[in-house]
Amino acid sequence: MTEIPITPPPPGSGKLLPLARPRALMVAVVLVGTLLGWLYLGAMVAAMLPMTDMSEFGPGMGLLNAFNQFAGLPPEVRKALAVLCTPTSGHFGMPGAGPWGAWDLAMVFAMWCAMVLAMMLPTAGPMMAAFADRAEAEAMNGGRSASVAVLAGGYLTVWFGFAVVATLAQWGLTAARTLSPAMAPASLILAGSTLIAAGIYQFTPAKYACLARCRTPAAFFSEHWARDARGVFGLGIEQGLFCFGCCWALMAVMFAVGVMNVVWIAVIGLVMAIEKLTTSFWVAWAVGIGLIAWGTALILASPVGARLLAFV
């Protein structure tokens, strides 16, 4: 039997091969990237779950104790079991209580990269969809542009840079013993001040400017367009910087609620997506007020706060 070669449609034919459709590729990039991030985080939690008091990882994580022997035990018993069962080298390659080495830094960086994929890539969906629509319209008229995957690469480069900074910050905070080996804040002052700072940032002009840019990606691509891979990668970096300016403080909230707190990874990721999808700034303001109130309550509940209240 003679094989008939399949050739792509000529320019201007008004047809695209299914796998060449930018929209389809955009959906695949977002879904696969997000899934990889959550699979990695899920594997970390699964490795920790059997022999770990999950409440040590921050608020809400205690719900996962329903799947191990820590459920329903008094706090003192949970602490004793944690000392007996927790390896000094940490779980799933994560650092333990001792000094960090190169491997510890690499594993923490990989964890932050997984968090970026799980939290930030879904919020970039509308931006990449706007690029894909423009690219598909041009392709229907015979034009060509670099893949939407190149755009995603530029966007993620910015956030992987943030992962480097976050890794170094976690290293320093752990060495200063303000973060526990479970990657949760060891001080109510640290947690409270981080929440207050993130809440204040919600009201800044920088937040509004970057959030407005994130909400109108189609307008951005109308003003700035590139067809070659280098130019499209640059567009991804620009959009990544807008997103970073909008969301870095909310990502920093993870230091207040527990870096490996998958409950709050999901909650904060959802909040950032809602912020970008709505047209009103009321969501950002409400989040800011909530963070400031929560942080203030934590500081007042600390020994320092108790002394301040007694003085007043």
| Predicted local confidence at residue 166, as pLDDT | 97
pLDDT given at position 301: 87
User: Which residues lie closer than 8 Å to 291 by C-beta, 6 or more apart?
Assistant: 195, 196, 198, 199, 202, 253
List average pLDDT for each run of 10 residues in the chain, which is 312 residues long: 45 44 86 96 86 84 81 64 53 65 91 97 93 81 79 96 96 90 88 96 96 90 82 94 96 95 96 92 94 95 73 65
What is the rounded CA–CA span in Å between residue 215 and residue 272?
Answer: 11
What distance in Å separates the CA atoms of residue 220 and residue 197, rounded to the nearest whole number?
A: 30
- What is the spatial distance between Cα 218 and Cα 202, in angstroms, rounded to a whole number? 24
Q: What pTM was estimated for this model as a whole?
A: 0.85
- pLDDT for the residue 12: 44
Q: What is residue 86's predicted lDDT score, i.e. its pLDDT?
A: 53
Query: What pLDDT sits at residue 297?
Result: 95
Predicted pLDDT at 75:
64
For the chain, give every domain's residue range.
Answer: 20-311
Amino acid in position 305: G
